[in-house]
Amino acid sequence: MPVLYDELGREGRLVDLLLAEIGRMPASSLHVAVPQDDRLGRICESVLSRAGEIRTLDEWALLTGLSRRTITRLFRRETGMSFSAWQQRVRLMEALARLGGGASVTSVALDVGYDSPSAFTAMFKRVLGTCPRTYLDWA
């Protein structure tokens, strides 16, 4: 299609349709808020620096001296999401950076803590609506 297309013709109608469909798409935010609480901040710094090292809330509770319930309550209050959702978002952002750099889906999946490429791809599809390779080709 030429850059200077006829806005009232076929190309114009096609562009109008595409813009309308894009406007109907659900928004997907990949923003990751870091809590203000120093104790949670230390957990977040560790997760952000080692996205592939997965620890459970119980493990974090033992390491920080906080209860599982306290971590859960503070995390939801300060970030608006659960710790597991936050951790998954961090892993996804790290994965997108690595995939964008040309790494294979298999190596990225394992590097960010998934047991298999299929588990990673399932999460990727659930969150972003498509498989990793299709997403990268489209992005």
Using one digit for the tens of pLDDT, what is the confidence trace for 13-24?
999 998 888 777
Cα separation, 87 vs 56, whole angstroms: 10
Predicted confidence (pLDDT) at residue 139 exceeds the cutoff of 80? no
Q: What is the mean pLDDT of residues 40-64?
A: 90
31 vs 18, more confident: 18
Question: What's the token pair of residue 138?
Answer: 């489209």
Which alpha helices (DSSP H) does the chain contain, by range? 10-24, 38-49, 57-64, 68-79, 83-100, 105-111, 117-128, 132-138
Q: What is the pLDDT of residue 25?
A: 66
Backbone angles phi, psi at 121, to 5 degrees: -65, -40
Q: What is the mean pLDDT of residues 109-116?
A: 93
Cα separation, 129 vs 124, whole angstroms: 7
Q: What is the pLDDT of residue 108?
A: 95
21 vs 99, more confident: 99
DSSP letter at 26?
P
How does residue 28 score in pLDDT terms, banded at 50, 70 and 90? low
| 31 Cβ neighbours under 8 A, 6+ residues apart | none
Question: What's the token pair of residue 18?
Answer: 């595409």
CATH number of the domain at 38-138, please?
A: 1.10.10.60
Query: Across the chain, what does the average pLDDT equal?
Result: 89
Q: What is the mean pLDDT of residues 107-119?
A: 94
The alpha carbon dihedral of 28, 112, 94, 120 has a sign of negative
